[in-house]
Amino acid sequence: MSDQGNVGGVVGKRRVVVVDNDPVMRAGTASILAGADDIELVAAVGHDVALIWGPEWLGIDVAVVDASDQRRSGDQFPGVAVARAIRATGAPVIVVVLTGQYLNPGLRRRMWEAGADFFYARDEGMTEEELISVAINPDDHRRLRHSCVGLPPELGVTPSTRVNMLVDRLEAAEIHEALHPSSRKKADPHGERSRWWNQIRRLASGPHGLSPVKASGERAIELDSPSVVQLRKFWGAMARTEPGPQE
């Protein structure tokens, strides 16, 4: 196994890459797949390495991608960026998400937007045989489907919301500390009615942004952009492995 893959490949075998930042989990998943007769394990790499691949994806059949890395200070779902990067190359790679965050509806929505094909629980619900099967015969399995089901209404996410675009905007603004659900308990140099927060709120507005809502989830018709409380809930649900306490 290498960080750059190989050239050519074994005829008739499914060429698979494992992407996971945890070296133990990465090695375990890679070992399972490498042991299958019909699979050629091309590489097992971390998210950052996978993100710099370009043409390398053109020779890959399946990418098994772990979704999260709770050690990150910003967006803790780097697997989303990997799925998006693979789709941006135009390579017909089957993207299989294997995650301990299976019950997180925000992550499911983000992976659907990113173009992932399958979404499976790492800890339970998927055997080694099933993992090998989905890599070899993906058409025999149920693919990830779009749904807002399970998303709390107080997030203000609608079918037209581009969640990944909003996460990108907020992370680019380098305000993840201010957006953390528990940040209201810290000293905050910016009042929630400040010009600074108004600019941040506008980042999440527009036709593909969030619908301004009240704490109950009802539409806040008096607002033209989401509140600071709503933004913190959104960030906690969509970019954190552990959302933390809510307002």
pLDDT digits (tens, 9 = 90+) for 92-131: 999 999 999 998 999 999 999 999 999 999 876 688 999 9
Which amino acid does the sequence have at 238? M
The answer regarding whether domain 14-140 maps to CATH 3.40.50.2300 reads yes
- The pLDDT of residue 11 is 53
Residue numbers in the chain where pLDDT is lower than 70: 1-11, 124-125, 147-148, 181-193, 243-247
Residue spans in the chain of domains classed CATH 3.40.50.2300:
14-140
Q: Are strands 62-65 and 118-121 parallel, antiparallel or unpaired?
A: unpaired
Residue in 36, 57, 58, 37 with CA at minimum distance from that of residue 45:
57
In 10 A of CB 219, how many CB atoms? 12
Handedness of CA 244, 150, 157, 98 (dihedral sign): positive
